[in-house]
Amino acid sequence: MTDGKEGLSELEALSRQAAEAIIKHDRVRLISHNDADGLSAAGIMCNALYRKGILFHTTIVSQFDHSTVELIKKTSQDAVILCDMGSGQAELASEIENAIIIDHHKPTGEIQHVHFNPHLLGIDGSSELCASCGAYLVARQMGDNADLAGLAIVGATGDKQPMAGNNKFILDEAVGINAVAVKKGLRMGDDPIEEQLEYGLDPYLDITGDKDKIREFVEKTGMKGPLKEFSEEKLQKFASLIALKLANQGSLSAINSLIGDVFILNNEVIPNIYDFVNVLNSCGNDNSGTGLAVCMRDTSRVNEALAIAREHQRTIIMNIKKAQAQIKTAQNFRYVHIEDSRSTGAIAGTMTRYLYPDKPFVTLNEVEDRIKVSARGTRKLVSAGLDLASAMREASASVGGMGGGHDVASGASIPIGTAAKFIETVDSIIGRQLKGKEQ
């Protein structure tokens, strides 16, 4: 679906069905994923439920598995809303009574519950209508919630989705009511350049995290202070310098994603969308309450949230530099074993986006009695046949684990001691996918 208004009536019907199922209940349990999209989706639903006078209890989790189902069964509620999860785990979802699923992962198996998912209407949820956009469409049917459109754009930005198709419809609606403003510029946060280069992941450069190299760059170029204070001429010069660095490290596709439309969130407590995305990605593991608080416009938590984001990103940069020295190469992908479970997705994403875009990247991390896996590719690799969701699902199942996600970004959980077989199987599957597209 390419036209933002094409099929809108079908989307409204699907979202109305979910909304009607929700508002029948006096109290609900809300379970959502812990990345920027999942937290944005949860934030939208928390606002909509609060405004409707429905009691809710929200829990943010890293993945939807048997432990999540057990958690849900231990508490009493009228219904359960699953955001950014459930579609790819039909068997698990079937164990929950009165579930309402708002997801954008490709459905596997028969979903018996009320189910909002763009895939049901032939829309590719990996590139259009992420979970927060779906939550927004549902919230619109629950009451006057159009002001929450900015949070939907936050989730889409966090999931690297373009503002095209039905995402553009949501953006146009947000701009129309002044919830979001659009301007041309660099897609970076509001902190001074020298600080962003120290702990920012987008863009990831040869000087990122290195204070001495950053100081040398700032002194040599005169580029310092917040971007929003730059003149147009200075902004263009800075953009050219960053583009040159990205080109030198082979990150040509990242240049296009760095420069373009910038979204300002007029209704939210963190107006810069890239700062907001960083906050949510950073809060997801241990500070989800803080992430939800800023989604619910609690100004008293903003400084805390921004501080968490800075510290989290510094940790990720440190782990990326460690990981670079430990990278291993299979025939069809690169991978690394790391020690920090909070950085798996960010490390894999940074590696493919900025350092090694020619092959998918997989991170593996032992967490208690499991190995957590994150896999990332590029749109170019997907167009060549890559489907990481399928690869993670098949390979993890072969070693007694679980996996799934999107074609370009996916994950898995596998038992300790199965990493070697898992890697061998993933290599075979990805090789088959890419070879099959060539034929």
Dist. CA 106–CA 125, nearest whole Å: 7
CA distance 6 to 29: 33
Tell me the two tokens of residue 116.
Answer: 């909002």
Q: What is the pLDDT of residue 333?
A: 96
Cα diameter, the chain = 63
CB 202 within 8 A of CB 227: no
- What pLDDT score was predicted for residue 232? 86
Residues spanned by the domain of 420:
326-438
3-state secondary structure string across the chain: CCCCCCCHHHHHHHHHHHHHHHHCCCEEEEEEECCHHHHHHHHHHHHHHHHHCCEEEEEEECCCCHHHHHHHHHCCCCEEEEECCCCCCHHHHCCCCCEEEECCCCCCCCCCCEEECHHHHCCCCCCCCCHHHHHHHHHHCCCCCHHHHHHHHHHHHHCCCCCCHHHHHHHHHHHHCCCEEEEEEECCCCCCHHHHHHHCCCCCCCCCCCHHHHHHHHHHHCCCCCHHHCCHHHHHHHHHHHHHHHHHCCCHHHHHHHEEEEEEECCCCCCEHHHHHHHHHHHCCCCHHHHHHHHCCCHHHHHHHHHHHHHHHHHHHHHHHHHHCCCEECCCCEEEEECCHHHHHHHHHHHHHHHCCCCCEEEEEEECCEEEEEEECCHHHHHCCCCHHHHHHHHHHHCCCEEEECCCEEEEEEECCCHHHHHHHHHHHHHHHHHHHHC
* Cα within 13 Å of Cα(83), Cβ side: 37
Of 144, 160, 179, the position where a domain reaches its end is 179
User: Is 83 inside a domain boundary?
Assistant: yes
Residues 111 and 47: their CA atoms lie apart, in Å, by 27
Among residues 319, 328, 395, 337, which one has the least CA distance to residue 359?
328
Assigned domain for 387 exists: yes
Residue 94, domain CATH: 3.90.1640.30
Predicted confidence at residue 438, as pLDDT, reads 53
Residue 243 lies in a domain: no
Amino acid at 16: R
The domain boundary, picked from 179, 202, 222, lies at 179
Q: Is the pTM of this model over 0.75?
A: yes
Asked whether 165 and 123 are in contact (CB, 8 A), the reply is yes
113/81 Cα distance (integer angstroms): 10
Q: What total of structural domains would you count in the chain? A: 2
351 found inside a domain: yes
- Separation between Cα atoms, residue 396 and residue 20, nearest integer Å: 37
Task: List 75's β-bridge partners, or say none.
Answer: none
Residue with tokens 């039909």: 90
Last residue of one domain, picked from the residues 145, 179, 213: 179
CA 1 distance to own-chain centroid: 21
Whether residue 238 is contained in a domain is answered as: no
Which of 281, 252, 209 lies closest to 353 in space, CA to CA?
252
- Is residue 156 within 8 Å of residue 133, measured between CB atoms? yes
Domain membership of residue 302 (yes or no) is no
Q: What is the mean pLDDT of each run of 10 residues along the chain (439 residues)?
A: 57 96 95 96 98 96 89 87 92 90 90 93 93 97 97 95 94 96 90 91 92 93 89 89 88 80 96 96 92 98 96 91 92 90 83 92 89 92 94 95 90 93 97 75
Task: Tell me the pairing of strands 328-329 and 334-338.
Answer: antiparallel
Answer yes or no: is 170 within a domain: yes
Alpha carbon distance 374, 348 (integer Å): 7
> What pLDDT was estimated at residue 186?
87
Domain-located, residue 211: no
CATH code at position 357: 3.10.310.40
